[in-house]
Each structure stands twice: as C-alpha cells, then as structure tokens.
Amino acid sequence: MKSWNWKKILIRTGIFAGVFILAIVLFVVIFIQRTLPETKGEVKLDSLSLEVEVVRDEEGVPHIEADSLEDLYMAQGYVQAQDRLLQMDLSRRQASGELSEIIGPATVEQDKFFRALGLRRAAEASLEEYSEEGKTALEAFADGVNAYIEKADRENRLPPAFTLMQSKPEPWTPVDSLTIGKFMAHDLGGHWEQQAFQYYAMNNFSKEKAEEIMAHYPEVKPAVLDGMSLDISGDFADVPTPHPFNGSNNWVVSGERTESGDPVLADDPHLGIATPSIWYQMKLSSPSHNVSGVIFAGVPGIILGNNDHVAWGVTNVGPDVQQLYLEKRNPENPEQFLYEGEWEDAIIHEEPIKVSGEETIEYEVVETRNGPIINEYTEGAGEGDALSLRWTAHDPSKELEAVLEINQATDWESFEKGLEKFHTPAQNFVFASEDGTIAYKANGKIPIYENPSDSQLPLRGWEEEDQWNGFIPFDELPTVVNPTKGWIATANNKITTEDYPYHITHNWAQPYRYERIAEMLEQDDSISVEDVKQMQMDVKNLQAEEFMSFLLGRVNEEVLNENEKEMIRLMEDWNYEDDKDLPQPLIFHHWLERIEAILYEDIPEDIDSLFHGKEQTTDEIFRMEERGEKSVWMEEAGGSEEVITSSFQSISDRLIEKFGEEPSEWKWGAYHQVEFTHPLSDIAFLDRFYNRKDPLPVSGSSVTVRAAGYDENGNVDHGASWRYIIDTSEMDRANHIVGPGQSERFNSKWYHSQYEDWVEGIYHETNMTQSSGDTLRLTP
C-alpha cells in the first residue's frame, strides 16, 4: 500500500490556499480600484447639447465649464454622483424614511419618524411651485446623476458598498434633491424637542423647578393644559433629533478695517463631522455666471461661497418655526380630531415600509389640520390624545430656486431679492461685494406669535386662537447694511434688541463664540486673511473665564486629597485656552458634565435627549448662585458647595484612572480626538478600510470659535464642516477646508486628503480663473 507524504501534502495545500487567498485579495483590490470615477479622458452623455470640461484640481475640487445652464447642472449631477453616489442615496433614503429597505429592521423606528415628519411629501408639494427654469435645472441635475448610475451599473463600476448591501441605487429625481433640502431644514430649523421637554417639565416637576429649567416660563399657562396630561415618556426614544450644537460662525469686515482695503468674509458652518463631509466643493461656470463654493451632495447649484461679484456665508438663526399641538381624538372615530367644537377628518397617508430580509410593514401617518402626528410609534398608538407638528418646512417652498438666483447675483439688491424664496431653514446671511458693501439678513419664514410665551409649550390644536398669526414680512426681517462699526458677526447668538417688534426665539445659543469673535475683531483695525485664519482656529474658552472663579470658590478644599489639590492649582493657572496639549480643558469639561449629571439626574434619558437648552440652563443656575440667589435644582442636589465639590472629586478619580496619577501631564487631546468615521465602519471588517487607524488630538470645544463638539467618549463628531475665507479684493481666490476630503471612496487620493489640514488649520486656495489637474471631457 502506498504511504502518503503528509508533510508534502500540507505544504502543497498551504501553498494552494495562500495562492487562492492572494487571488481573492487581488480580485477584490482590482474590483474596488476599477470602481473609482473616471477623472480623465472622455465620456459620452447623450443628453448634453455641447461639450463640458471638468478639471479636478489638486484637492479634487471639480471646476465645470459649460456653454449652457442645462448642460452645467447635468454635468454637476454626473460629477457629484461620481464622488458621492452612496452618500446621496443614503441621504435621500434617510430623509424619505426608506433606510430599512437596504439596512433591515435596525432603522424601522427611524423610518417611521421620517415618514411621519413628511419631508418627502413636503418636497413633492414644493416641486409644484417651482418655475419652469427651476424645474429644468433640477431635471438636468437628475439626468446627470442617472447618466452616471446607468453607466456605472452597466460597466459594473458602482461603489462597492452597494454590492455589500446587495442593492442598486434607484433613478434620481428632482424630488430627491428637494427632499435632501428639506432634511437640512429638519437638521437646522426647529424647536419642537424643547417644547416637548418643557411640557414634560411642567407636568412632572414643581412650578419652581419648571420655571428655572425653561428659557421663559409661560405664566399664563396652567400646569396641565385644559385637563390634558399626555404622557410622552418613551415616545421619542428612537427619534433622530438634530444635534443640539448645530450652528455656525460667520463674520464680514468692511474695507475700512482690513489690510487690503476691501471687505473680508469668513464662514464655518458647524454640523456633523464624519466621512464623507456633508459638503461637496465645486466651481461652476457658464456664460451667465461663474460661482464657487460648497453644496450638499444631491443638490444643484452652490449654496455657500462666491461668484465674480459677491460672497456670502450663513449661520443658523434657530427661530421658533415649529409648533407642537395637543390633539383631541374622537373616541368613537380615531381618524377624527376636534377643532372649534367639531370633529374633523384627518388625512391618512399610507406609508408601507419595506424591510430588507423581512415582510413589509404596513404603516399609516395621520395628519390633522395642524400637521402630522409625530409621537405614535409604539404598540397601541393611535387610540388617545396625541401631538401634531406644525412646521414652516411643511409648506411648499423654493429654496433651490433661491440658490440658483443668488449664484448669479451682482450686488446686495439682487442678492437680497433672491433670498425672498429662501424660506427654510432660517439663516443668518452675511454678505460682501466687490463694490465694498457688507450686509446681513436673518432670512427665512418665521411665524408671528402674538404672545411669545406660546412658543414655549404645545398649544391647543382644537382652538383657532392658538393658530399662528402669519409670518414676519420679508422687509421687516432683521437686516443691517454697512454698519458704522465696520463689521458684522453672528454665532447663533441673540440677534434682536428689545425694541424689535417680533418674536424670534427664546433659545439662543450660548454667547461665548460671538463674544470672542467680537473681541478679536475689535482688537484689529487692519485685518488680513491670515488674521481670519487664526480667528477661525481660536480656542479661547470664555465660558471658563466667566465661571472658573465661581466654581473654584465653591470647592471645599479641606476634603480634597493631594492630587485634587494639584488639579485646583492647575485650574487657577489656566489661560482659558482649550488647547489639546493642556490638562485644564480636560478637567473643566469633565467637571461641567458631572455637575449637570448631578443636577438633572431626575430627568429620564429619553426626555433628556429633548433638553436642548441644558447648557444655557446650567449657565443661568451658576449665575443665580453667584448673585447669591438659590437655585431649586442646585438646592435639591445638595447645594452648590456639595455639588461642585463632589463632582470635582468624582471626575478626579475617573481622570486618574484613565490618564495617570500626575494631573500636570494630562492632555485634553488624549481624550478629545477626531476620526471622521464612516457610517459603514460599524461593520467590523470595514472599519480598517473606511476609518483612519489612529484618531488625531484636536483643540477647541463646543464653546470656542474653533467649534469641536464631542460625544461621551471624547470623539469629536461636530464642528466646522467647512471653513471659508475670502478677501473681496481678489474675488477669483478663496480659502477652503472641507474635512476630511472631497471623495467618499476610501481608495481615492481625495478621501482623507484634508484630514490633517482640518486639524491643523491648513487651507487650500481655489482659483476661479485658473485650474489645472485631471481633465474629463463630457461630450454629447
């Protein structure tokens, strides 16, 4: 009998397995590599009328030159899809409530919320209002996206993520673009969460506690409206509420105060930090205009930036544009609701939700005269009283048509005229032009409240007197042109004085970023672009400067150990910079978080997620205590000395355990770091492809001009999603940072090409008249 040479067999088997694995790896690499967009050569697009040139500069910014607007927007759609198709598809699905179709049951509750919110229904209604010119632009953009989808699918070059999810992108439509626009209104435009929180506070805490925790306690309202007590605990546990720090900085300086003698403008919108960036930078040229800046992937035009004549930037106004209504349901007919003594039929929207790997969920959205019911997701919902949402973004609006008009503006008058169509989200626009004009407008559709306290709580859906009383006229929105002080700045701060006749909101952002910007602008009468770069990266913490003496004065040092006393000495010597290499910001921010955890421990987790005014409330409690007044929240937690001392001791133990025994060697950046995570990186084996191996330490915080908000693990997930500076003496040049880069493809050279630049504050210059790089010709 023949004997087997097991050693040789094992060696040969190992070699075969190795070759097989190598072949698979090579196949995957080659497959992934060939899905990268074509950025050179020639591609035919049947719908084009004339050739379009696309030059991608060294940062991957496409410069598109076309001979007509229709060809321009078609090419824009094609190019955006090349670099961001996955993001575009996921964005429209999220906003439309269709994620579960490709992701599965994990996103069903989120899909239900967005079906109820009705962003896609609002987008469909808005499209009907667009002019023929606006519809043509939207359709041309969609044609360009679809041309790429069809070509990539035919050539098996769709982004690999679609293969992983076993899906293919559906054809793009104009409604998809408008739905993404409505999603940004959701992300930036409301306060219904605060109303829901305050309703809970009124019905679950004493009058004194509710009064302290609300921006303005509405004294005319009883603790329970008309005998109703709707229990909202648990209703919003799975709702994707906007980030509480969504905001921005912008400022514009007159030529009288700049080095060049012409206006300088800066903007840095603060939104979620992730891969890919929420922004996509482009330069668009046609015979009618030449415009450069950023846009949301999936949308035509340029929403922020400059053309040859004017430049502009925005921050969020944050007005009260959403109103919750308590609804009385007919006990004999759940599809009827009370209004002025009569039962009215609700509108029922059939919204079946497809779920990957499971059966379709039959789902209905109920809409009253006030808006959709938004708190019914659980078993047994739809049987009793409910909450509906009235929101300006539900009304038809033409924001993208406004964008296309302001892209072609030549001065303040034509720019302001374009803003009349920009209703949601309400934004603080700052403006500069080549003729030396600087200007500001708080633009948007803002409801009129006869009694401002009404905007603090849900109102009675069954009473006509609780309806909105129209909207602030466009010509009466807050506006400033060429102020004598020579500059205008906004940072989501209060924008009106007491004599302004209309209510905007009770819930302004903390003032520290604005105060620091103003402080820096007033220090310099000859501001340059380089000065502004340093301002955008400034990390002075004015909140710490205001409250540090108060906090240190309330610490009982007699009970502290030596490490804790060393921490106190460090805080006494702090320069109030949230610098990544300093220990003090690590101590300060953990200290504040622990104080808030103690103060608000009676608030359930799902209700706490609606408490968007928490930081301002804490500031006011500190100010009360500093004035010698007693805060009921502080007193019930044990008094200021007990709360402040025990919280300090608590964080001392945690920080020593994590960062070592020597406080002077701690660093803010050892905790406060950025990674720009990709949504698909939650799948374990994809993390190594989509995410950077080592996060980078970052200076700043949520209260510094260099905004860098973070989660409970110190991961920076919120901040300047785009940084932009332009000196209008050179309208063809602007400075940009789009972190972490232009492409969503992890194997692209532009995937994380601006990662370190974002951390270090290194800008790239975009030239509108000269461009060089990879050149793609799109031909008919």
- Active site residues per annotation: 248
* Pairing mode, strands 371-372 and 364-368: antiparallel
How far CA 636 is from CA of 560, 603, 633, 640, in Å, comes to 23, 13, 5, 10
Which has the closest alpha carbon to 674: 693, 696, 694?
A: 696
How would you class 98 by CB atoms within 10 Å of its CB: exposed for 0-12, middle for 13-18, buried for 19 or more? buried
Given the structure tokens 């959403």, which residue do they identify?
A: 322
- List the helix and strand counts (H, then E) for the chain: 23, 30
Q: How many CA atoms lie less than 13 Å away from 48 in the CB half-sphere?
A: 25
**What are the start-end ranges of the E strands in 264-357?**
264-272, 279-286, 289-296, 304-307, 310-316, 322-327, 329-330, 333-339, 342-345, 347-350
Task: Please give the backbone phi and psi of residue 129, each rounded to the nearest 5 degrees, phi first.
Answer: -90, -15
Please write down the HEC assignment for all residues of 86-119: HHHHHHHHHHHCCCHHHHCHHHHHHHHHHHHHCH
Q: Which helix (H) or strand (E) holds 460?
A: strand 459-460
In our burial notation (b when 16+ CB lie closer than 10 A, e otherwise), range 47-66 reads ebeebbebbbbebbbbbbbb
Q: What angle do CA 235, 273, 731 make, to 5 degrees?
A: 130
Is 320 a known ligand-binding residue? yes
Which has the closest alpha carbon to 246: 262, 225, 229, 268?
A: 268
Which has the closest alpha carbon to 676: 183, 160, 240, 272?
A: 272
Task: Please give the backbone phi and psi of residue 412, each rounded to the nearest 5 degrees, phi first.
Answer: -60, -40
Strand partners, 734: 766
Which has the closest alpha carbon to 264: 436, 495, 419?
A: 436
Structure-block tokens of residue 250:
């912008």
**What are the start-end ranges of the E strands in 406-451?**
427-433, 438-443
CA–CA separation, 233 and 387 (whole Å): 13
CB 296, CB 280: distance < 8 Å: yes
CA–CA separation, 780 and 777 (whole Å): 10
* Pairing mode, strands 247-253 and 41-44: unpaired
Which has the closest alpha carbon to 191: 212, 225, 215?
A: 215
Residue type at 183 in one-letter notation: F
Residue type at 658 in one-letter notation: K
CA–CA separation, 246 and 718 (whole Å): 8
CA–CA separation, 420 and 422 (whole Å): 6
Residues annotated in a binding site: 320
Residues annotated in a binding site for Ca(2+): 320
